[in-house]
Amino acid sequence: MAGAAAEAPAAGGGGKKKLILIIVAVLVLVLVGVAALLLMKKKSHAEDGEEAEAPAAHATVKAGTPPTFVPLDPFTVNLADKEVDRYAQIGVTLEVADPKVADQIKAYMPAIRNNVLMVLSHKTSADLLTQEGKEKLAREIRRESVRPMGVELDDEEEDADAPKKKKKKRRAPDSPVTQVLFSTFIVQ
């Protein structure tokens, strides 16, 4: 009988160990499940956020799909020439890859027109009459046309004039406006 009594406590201790191992395994599985659920929710929230910020995000465009053009009403502005009163009449069309972005641009049109007018009103006739001046203006209009939608583009011209500094190369944000086209360009 002494042998049977010695086996009973040993069996009870082994049962407690098995119970503890089962509880630990269940807790680990529950924690892994909760972590996976949180990651899935975070991912779905991020996707919802991307849809809400569609101007900054590009929709993939199938090859062969024509771009969408958003014409702006012509701009007529007094130029910043000091010696004589001059004005410019400029027609601008924005090229976008996605028709959804074109609708969003139309929603921001008053702010976009304001930004473009501010850029144009600081130009002189000498700035606008050269090919380089027109190219720089197109870059500035592109930058200012996406700013109301929360997209900040770096001005390549300013970066070229600035002293070279060692800095990390960061990827420039994608612009919903792929190109700025001039439909009319009159300086008088």
Query: Domain coordinates of the chain in residue numbers?
Result: 1-52, 68-159+174-187
Q: In this structure, which amino acid lies at residue 34?
A: V
CB 71, CB 80: distance < 8 Å: no
Query: Can you tell me the mean pLDDT for 22-33?
Result: 82
- What is the pTM assigned to this prediction? 0.59
Per CATH, the number for 68-159+174-187 is 3.30.479
Say if residue 4's pLDDT is above 80. Answer: no
pLDDT at 40 exceeding the cut of 80: no
pLDDT band at 57 (very low <50, low <70, confident <90, very high): very low
Beta bridge partners of 92: 182
Question: How wide is the angle at C-alpha 65 spanned by C-alphas 185 and 115, nearest 5°?
Answer: 35
Judge whether residue 173 has pLDDT over 80.
no
C-beta of residue 178 within 8 angstroms of C-beta of residue 146 = no
Mean pLDDT to the nearest integer, 56-63: 49
State the Cα–Cα distance between residues 37 and 67, nearest whole angstrom: 39
DSSP characters over the chain: -HHHHHHHHHHHHHHHHHHHHHHHHHHHHHHHHHHHHHHHHHHHHHHHHHHHTTTTSPPP--TTPPPEEEEPPPEEEE---SSS--EEEEEEEEEES-HHHHHHHHHTHHHHHHHHHHHHHT--HHHHHSHHHHHHHHHHHHHHHHGGGT-----HHHHHHSPP------PPPPPSEEEEEEEEEEE-
Cβ atoms of 85 and 176 closer than 8 Å: no
